[in-house]
Amino acid sequence: MTDPSEKSFLDLSRRGFLAAAAGSVAGAGLASSGAQAQQPENLPNIPDDAVGRPFPEADLQMPLPPDQRLGWCVVGLGAFALNHVIPAITRSQTCRLAGLVSGNAEKARRVATHYGVPDARIYDYESFDDIANDDSIDVVYIVLPNGLHAEYTIRAFEAGKHVMCEKPMANTVEECRAMIQASQEADRKLMIAYRAHFEPHNQRALRMKKEGAFGDIRLVIGDTMRPLDLSRPRDEWRVLRDLAGGGSMMDIGIYALNGTLYFLEESPVALVASISNPPDDIRFRQVEDLVTVQLRFGSGALANLSSSYTMNENRIQILGSEGTGLLNPATSYVGNTLYETGSDVGTRKVPVQDSSLRQFTGEIDHLSRAIIENFTPDTPGEMGLRDVALIRAIYASAERGSWVELNPDGTMRG
Ligand code: NAD
């Protein structure tokens, strides 16, 4: 997979720079008309008053010029959109915030004022389809409850826009298929917002695994849990099956599931799951609390994953014949940390220069680049479909109380 940090939109190649720099050493006074101090032989001959010097040698990542940036429109102005998505769009190298879609006009105007979005670019859920006539919008970012992802993704494609859709892609495999078909018919890109693929510690762990740092991977253990808090508006829809599609596994277990497949680089061939809900807890009338699942892979590797809405944990452990990688936390918004354990290193924290914050701009810039350079994003609709299919298989296995066999696309066999 491509590492976004290694890509630059304005390619100031080192070779190009060196050529420019070499040319300028001889005539170092570029823009100067000032006095030139005579330097002893072999020392740089630079004027001693202020002058323009050549472009500095650096790993420059210049943003796209403003008039070339893609216009992104955010649908759903909830907790994640306001705290993470919109700030990341403003920090990105490739986009500008071009539109907002909300059912709450006052909230939308307030956000628009702070981010300089004109009133004419504020839409509600009824006028949403008018974005088809808005050339300032290239990409739509769906940050609605899961049960609304399919409808708004398909409407965005019908309006001729590209789509970034939050995880989980949708509630059902059928919805995922319809979203992919709409993307193909519109000839527009569809990316699922799996931010961990763009998170430096997760990327580093995958690189170490590929370089053999952990040997043959035999087991992945992943636990993603957080207490569901009904006093917070963002958690209200999460207890309703039609809007959430499921409970802890759909919402956060998907991180451990997707992460496991990211590190193992293969899809499971079978799984068995169990679900447990605390009795008399109104949060779990329609959606589940605790899920445990064991996955079996063609390579012989196994994974043990869990998700819960009543405990607190966020870690992924990759265990191999030569060592162990531990991400703890693994998929937080900030402060993810990677540890390595091996017979020759003991246990050490793996230094990773970049901050976890880069995951948000990383995924946004990745889709912009996929559109500009016309390639398939690293986390396409097919990956979102696979994960939704696996979660449906997890629910089916828990209900049947038995193993289920899986197709390569994550759907159940037979
Ligand atoms: P939220 O409740 O804070 O935001 C949901 C938004 O949708 C709100 O603006 C709300 O007004 C709007 N909405 C429209 N119709 C609605 C309806 N019928 N019921 C409820 N809200 C409705 O939720 P959130 O935590 O921001 O989650 C939104 C999406 O983002 C979900 O798909 C979630 O899985 C995803 N998410 C992703 C991450 C991540 O790290 N990638 C983190 C949090 C949430």
Mutation probe of ligand 1 site: the residue of 86, 111, 166 with most atoms within 8 A of C-beta: 166
Q: Which domain holds residue 92?
A: 66-193
Residues 156 and 275 in one domain: no
CA distance 330 to 325: 11
Tell me: do 177 and 130 sit in the same domain: yes
CA-CA distance, 275 to 249, in Å (whole number)? 10
Tell me what pLDDT residue 40 has: 72
Query: Do the domain assignments include residue 363?
Result: no
CA of 361 to the centre of ligand 1 (A): 19
Measured CA to CA, the distance from residue 162 to residue 183 in angstroms comes to 8
Q: Which residues pair with 292 in a beta bridge?
A: 274, 306
148 and 39 in one domain? no
Q: Report which secondary-structure segment, H or E, holds 235.
A: helix 233-236
pLDDT value, residue 408: 95
pLDDT tens column, 83-134: 999 999 999 999 999 999 999 999 999 999 999 999 999 999 999 999 999 9
| Residues 28 and 120 placed together within one structural domain of the fold | no
With respect to residue 60, please indicate whether it lies within any of the assigned structural domains.
no
Cis link prior to 329 (omega < 30° from 0)? yes
How many CB atoms within 10 Å of residue 330? 25
CATH of residue 172's domain is 3.40.50.720
Which residue in 123, 152, 167, 395 is the catalytic one? 167
Sign of CA dihedral 74, 76, 77, 79: negative
For residues 248 and 285, state if they share a domain.
yes
DSSP state of 202: H
Residue 61 is predicted with a pLDDT of: 79
Residue 36's pLDDT is: 56
Range 199-222 average pLDDT: 97
* Partners of residue 74 on adjacent β-strands: 100, 141
Residue 195 has pLDDT above 60, yes or no: yes
H or E, element range at 71: strand 70-75
- Residue 295: both structure tokens together: 């996955």
Last residue within a domain, chosen from 135, 162, 193: 193
| Structure confidence at residue 38 as a pLDDT band (50, 70, 90) | low
- Regarding whether 30 and 175 lie in a shared domain, the answer is no
State which ligand 1 atom lies nearest to the alpha carbon of 193.
41
Query: Judging by DSSP bridges, how do beta strands 95-101 and 346-349 pair with one another?
Result: unpaired
pTM of the full structure: 0.91
Residue 104 tokens, joined: 């709450």
Quick one: pLDDT at residue 45?
87
- The CATH number for 237's domain is 3.30.360.10
pLDDT tens figures, 124-180: 999 999 999 999 999 999 999 999 999 999 999 999 999 999 999 999 999 999 999
For ligand 1, atom 42, the nearest C-alpha belongs to 80
The residue contributing the CA closest to ligand 1 atom 43 is 80
Percent of the chain's residues with pLDDT above 90 = 85
Is residue 255 annotated as a catalytic residue, yes or no?
yes
Residue 5 pLDDT grade (very low, low, confident, very high; cuts 50, 70, 90): very low
DSSP states along 325-367: EEESSSS-SS---EEEEETTTEEEEPP--S-TTHHHHHHHHHH
The tens digit of pLDDT for each residue in 353-380 reads: 999 999 999 999 999 999 999 999 999 9
Q: Which of 143, 146, 149 to mutate for ligand 1's pocket (most ligand atoms within 8 Å of CB)?
A: 143
pLDDT at position 344? 80
Whether residue 341 sits in one domain with residue 401: yes
DSSP annotation of 109 reads H
Could you tell me which residue, 47 or 414, shows the higher pLDDT?
47
Cβ atoms of 363 and 357 closer than 8 Å: no
* pLDDT, averaged across the chain: 91
Query: pLDDT tens-digit profile of 52-76?
Result: 988 888 777 789 999 999 999 999 9
pLDDT interval class at 26 (50, 70, 90):
very low
Interval 9-23 mean pLDDT: 36
- Are residues 345 and 287 located together in one domain of the fold? yes
Q: Which two tokens stand for residue 387?
A: 């994960």
> Mean pLDDT across the stretch 186-201?
98
What is the number of structural domains in the chain?
3
Q: Could you read off the pLDDT of 281-326 as tens digits, one per residue?
A: 999 999 999 999 999 999 999 999 999 999 999 999 999 999 999 9
Tokens at 124, concatenated: 């509600």
CA distances from 173 to 150, 177, 237, 250, 386 (A): 11, 6, 21, 13, 8
Res. 268: pLDDT tops 90: yes
Decide if 123 contacts 131 (C-beta within 8 A).
yes
Q: Is the beta carbon of 307 within 6 A of some atom in ligand 1?
A: no
